[in-house]
């Protein structure tokens, strides 16, 4: 009999909507300390059941095939056994419908390695940090704030998060709490399908950037003074990148450091 590849246990599953959740897992053994912004790979066997509101796919996988996908870590970087992931369900996908069928106590697989070069700590001392996300692209920023907000009170930090509806704003309460607790942090959620009960920003992130949203809180769009991090929908990443090019921002890489850091998914 084959031994199970599973090495982690679900300790909490917070269903924000039928297709959006926060998943917390505890690994059987600790991982190495990681940098906020990095990711790891998680997985389930194909024999696991799918969520009730998913779509059965035509592609059938062998029952013992381990379906794996990378996910940014939302937990603080000192949490080396307890990991948090922010996940949206792709109804016709192979992994996420199975993840959404999990419950507290379920077993799953989490990679031993934590990887990625999207490290928010890779900014020069004294530079402001603007974190732009759509959907679950917010996860690496939650990790950064949980890990480093107390150590970065000498610079300005901002999160711009785009979503469709208010209930798609995962971490709204936590980010609002951080904004109320730290004078140097600004949280700007913006909705595309807001109703009359929403009093916040509406529309696309790049529109607010063009209208001086950051300058209004004293954050200058200048590659020498402010680093931008982009994570989420490729269309958002492209649009905001084009906007920043006008300010002479260049994309960061390990060989060519720049003030624009991009993580696409």
**Widest distance between CA atoms in the chain:** 63
β 8-17/66-72 pair status: unpaired
Q: What is the pLDDT of residues 35-77, one digit of tens each?
A: 999 999 999 999 999 999 999 887 889 999 999 999 999 999 9
Across 118-122, 149-153, 196-200, 240-244, least confident range: 118-122
pLDDT value for 3: 84
How many of the other CB atoms lie within 10 Å of CB of 131?
25
Q: Which of 24-33, 57-66, 157-166 has the lowest mean pLDDT?
A: 57-66
- The kind and range of the H/E element at 71 are strand 66-72
Domain 8-115 has CATH 3.40.50.2300: no
Cα four-point dihedral sign 143, 144, 148, 153: negative
Is 195 in contact with 223 (CB distance < 8 Å)?
no
| Radius of gyration, CA atoms only, the chain | 19
Residues 6+ apart with CB under 8 A from 151: none
Q: Is the pLDDT assigned to residue 96 strictly greater than 80?
A: yes
Q: What is the mean pLDDT of residues 124-146?
A: 96
pLDDT of residue 2: 67
Tell the burial category of 155 from Cβ atoms under 10 Å away from its Cβ (0-12, 13-18, 19+).
middle
The predicted model scores a pTM of: 0.95
- Give 200-221 pLDDT, tens digit per residue: 999 999 999 999 999 999 999 9
User: Can you give the pLDDT at residue 47?
Assistant: 96
Q: What's the topology of domain 128-264?
A: Rossmann fold (3.40.50)
3-state secondary structure of 103: coil
The domain ranges of the chain are 8-115, 128-264
pLDDT for residue 172 is more than 90: yes
264 — pLDDT class (breaks 50, 70, 90): low
Distance (Å, whole) CA 182 – CA 67: 41
């Amino acid at each position: 009999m084959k031994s199970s590849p599973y090495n982690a246990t679900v300790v909490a599953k917070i269903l924000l909507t039928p297709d959006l959740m926060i998943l917390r897992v505890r690994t059987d053994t600790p991982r190495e300390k990681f940098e906020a912004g990095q990711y790891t790979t998680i997985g389930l066997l194909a024999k696991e059941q799918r969520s009730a509101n998913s779509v059965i796919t035509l592609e059938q996988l062998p029952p013992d095939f381990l379906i794996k996908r990378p996910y940014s870590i939302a937990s603080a970087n000192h949490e080396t056994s307890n990991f948090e992931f922010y996940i949206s369900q792709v109804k016709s996908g192979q992994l996420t419908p199975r993840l959404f069928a999990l419950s507290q106590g379920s077993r799953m697989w989490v990679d031993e390695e934590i990887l990625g070069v999207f490290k928010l700590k890779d900014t020069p001392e004294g530079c402001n940090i603007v974190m732009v996300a759509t959907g679950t692209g917010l996860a690496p920023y939650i990790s950064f704030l949980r890990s480093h907000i107390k150590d970065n009170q000498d610079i300005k930090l901002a999160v711009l998060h785009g979503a469709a509806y208010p209930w798609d704003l995962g971490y709204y309460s936590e980010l609002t709490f951080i904004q109320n607790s730290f004078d140097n942090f600004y949280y700007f959620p913006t909705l595309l399908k807001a109703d009359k009960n929403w009093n916040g920003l509406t529309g696309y992130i790049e529109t607010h950037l063009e209208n001086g949203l950051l300058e209004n809180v004293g954050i200058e769009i200048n590659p020498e003074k402010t680093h931008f991090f982009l994570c989420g929908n490729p269309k958002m990443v492209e649009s905001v990148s084009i906007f920043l090019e006008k300010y002479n921002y260049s994309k960061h890489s390990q060989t060519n450091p720049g003030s624009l850091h991009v993580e696409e998914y």
